[in-house]
Amino acid sequence: MKPINLDGQSLTRDQLVEIAYGASAGLDPQALKAVARAADFLADQVRREEPIYGVSTGFGSNADKLLGAHPLRDELPGAVKSGRSLHEELQHNLIITHAVCVGPPMAQEVVRAMLGIRINTLLRGHSGIRVQTLEALTAMLNAGIVPVVPELGSVGASGDLAPLSHLALVLLGGGEAFHQGERMPGAQALQRAGLTPVTLSYKEGLALNNGTAQMLAMGVLAVHRLDALLDTADLAAAMTIDAFAGRLGAFAEEVHTLRPHPGQVHVAGRLRELLAGSTLADIAYHLVPKFRPWLPHSWNVPDMGWPESQQLRFDIGWDWVPSDQRHGREKFYRRFRPFLGGKKHQPQDSYSLRCVPQVHGAVRDALAQAKRVLEIELNSVTDNPLVFPDRTDAAHVEEQVISAGHFHGMPLALAMSYVKASIPVLASISERRLNKLVDPATNDGLPAFLIGNEDGTESGHMIVQYTAAAIVNDLASRAHPASVFSIPTSANAEDHVSMGANEARQVLAMSADLGKVLALELYTAAQALDLRRDMINAARDLAARADAVAFAAKVQGGAAAGVDPRFLEGVEGLRSELARSAEFHPGHAVAAAHAALREKIPFLDRDRAMDGEVATVVRLVESGKLLAAARHALSP
């Protein structure tokens, strides 16, 4: 990867993702001049003995305590002296006492992203950190040293204090770190990389641990993952729509100009692209046969010369609608032949199919709002106090070192709350489509659980839906916004906090589980698509080989021919129309994704162990291979 040049003002989400996954960082020389100017300014103010929060005073509830000339305990007999000045001791103690997170370590890409964010924001030159300390932090990142940062401990104001303290602790030669795949003491990691610990100067502890880097890093990585999952959700929906031989009118461009929410318009257009070329979608109702269980005599049609029929794993059929049952529907049966097959005679599909643009699109709009907030935050200064060394009109130091609240994570927390609420929505509609596929009452003529089961011994995709349902329930139970429940900290000096770190951490974890639900839908939709396509094409092949009498054997009620003389005439019309049809197939992009899945997982002809296949399809979604296949099919 090319190094990412950081200047405090132009970092993008994509660049941060590159840093998270291994890119090194460079420091802009012009930005370093601003960094040096702020550090020199603070040093000058300390020499003047000006009271500055977090520099010559304590922190939080200790803000009313001014630093003295030396530690009071140094006057006691036998006192052990640290060798640091009180100003250095203040910053050192801030880091070592605030590194109290618990839980499993954050993923290394998250910690690298946190380092990248912290370096970038410090380059703005309003934090007071010295150039050499910032360079040491960057060297640690570029050397592949990843501090061990436990997951739990941030309340999201004053920023992500505890996790960022774990980040800085390694810079001081403490804590633990991962280096070259091995977990070790922080001092050892620095030594292996040829780096030396840092002694912190004025405000440098605050500069390192006072900010929103954890929630921002997790938010950016979650959004990066969700970007791909939203496209995957559209692909899964398209494959399911093809498997249903669904109706495309609900996705028409002119429909969505009447309610032009950006995400909705985008998804409708994307479905049109994914389903382009499909001859299953919008197929005439009467051409779609319904599943019947295979029997030994199912395809024994005399004199057909069709040995391939013996390999079919299903039987098919239609119901004939006699003349005396068409009253009031004569016009319909003049347009569509009087046969009831797998596709119900209704002009609209269920909400989980028809309303994909409205639901997927609303989730896209939630993500777009989060992106807007994250992009602002990436190049913002989020520590406290803020240093303005170039403000020449200031009457006193309080106008140049200003205490404010940029560490408060509420902008990120609320944006993540919005995204968090949308994840179960996307997972839920996916599970509803999956359930519709396996339920014979709703799957428009496909077999129950998408398996032939002629002997009554097979479960097919039954339990796949259970797993999806379990994940959806879990996602829904985790969707409550953390941001609505503030718990005051620091003896009520910090009396309203954002809980944004919890919000972003949960969104990142939930996004991975969303991918599992989408994978299960794709796994199931591929099975259903095979059955639908093969059943219709089997009907087409039979129609091309059989006469009306032989074809009538596939139509329930064949005995009615003697009662209604138009029965055979109707059968011949159906047979002739099927025989003239080209081979039926899904949309080009759907077909490409289906083929990519089938390279790894064959059609489920009979029950077999599915655990490995489920793990495989989850990996295919995580790796983006199915999505890449669909995108390649769409490329010019």
Catalytic residue set = 53
Which residues, at least 6 apart from 326, have a Cβ–Cβ distance to it below 8 Å?
Answer: 333, 338
Which residues, at least 6 apart from 432, have a Cβ–Cβ distance to it below 8 Å?
Answer: 352
Specify burial of residue 466 (Cβ count, 10 A radius: 0-12, 13-18, 19+): exposed
Q: Which of 324, 372, 326 has its CA nearest to residue 345?
A: 326
Which residues, at least 6 apart from 614, have a Cβ–Cβ distance to it below 8 Å?
Answer: 464, 467, 519, 520, 523
Q: Which of 134, 59, 68 has its CA nearest to residue 95?
A: 59
Look at residue 512 and give its three-state secondary structure. Answer: helix
Q: Which of 605, 606, 608, 589 has its CA nearest to residue 597?
A: 589
Cα gap 355→510, rounded to integer Å: 23
Cα gap 489→486, rounded to integer Å: 9
CA dist 543 → 159, 297, 467, 488, 538 (Å): 70, 18, 40, 75, 8
For the chain, the C-alpha Rg in angstroms (whole number) is 33
AA identity, residue 234: D
Cα gap 429→240, rounded to integer Å: 12
Strand blocks (E) in 202-337: 290-292, 315-320
Instruction: Name the residue with tokens 């950190």.
Output: 129
Helix axes 625-634, 588-598, angle to 10 degrees: 150
Give yes or no for a contact between 219 and 370, defined as CB atoms under 8 angstroms apart: yes
Q: Which of 231, 69, 253, 347 has its CA nearest to residue 628?
A: 231
Beta bridge partners of 176: 185
Q: Is the peptide bond before 24 cis (omega within 30 degrees of 0)?
A: no
Q: Which of 626, 622, 555 has its CA nearest to residue 596?
A: 626
DSSP sequence for 409-451: -HHHHHHHHHHHHHHHHHHHHHHHHHHHHH-TTTSSSPPGGGS
